[in-house]
Amino acid sequence: METDHDRYKRNFPVSWDQLHRDARALAWRLHDMSTSWEKIVAVTRGGLVPAAVIARELSIHYIDTICVASYDWQQQGEAVILKQAASGGQGCLIIDDLVDTGATARVVREMLPKAYFATVYAKPAGKPLVDAYVTEVSQDTWILFPWDAENRFVAPIAGK
């Protein structure tokens, strides 16, 4: 039986600078839609940082959160809702860092069916559940976000 650890064959480290650039790229894409959203709903925890960048870039001052827990170091479990957002989604922009298998996105979509859902990164299994994203990565890639990493030596891919 394949575990979550077995399915991640690659790591994709994302620096703070790269995340900021990618979140701004998503903000440009959203801005070019000429839609004005009343508020942002950040999916915690990963959506908090990109939501802050996008809120600044789009001049949105109302930010709410949906708190969903589904990951524990490369292990994805059932999505557990810890806090819901206040509305049905009309005029709402949902922001998350990543859509992976779509488990969290499905839960969020059920809560806010009329919202526009955007993520910075998307994997093939979850991509159909979001309306916009910036970068697609393969399903077998673990995205290592800056808040989960520290600088250290990494062995070369080819070995010695």
Q: How far apart are CA 153 and CA 157, in angstroms?
A: 12
- The b/e string for 5-35 (b: 16+ C-beta within 10 A; e otherwise) is eeebeeeeebeeeebeebbbebbeebeeeee
**Surface-to-core class of residue 44, CB atoms within 10 Å of its CB (0-12 exposed, 13-18 middle, 19+ buried):** middle
What are the residue numbers of the active site?
Answer: 96-97, 100
Q: How far is CA 111 from the centre of its chain?
A: 17
Residue at 109: amino acid letter: R
DSSP class of residue 6 equals H
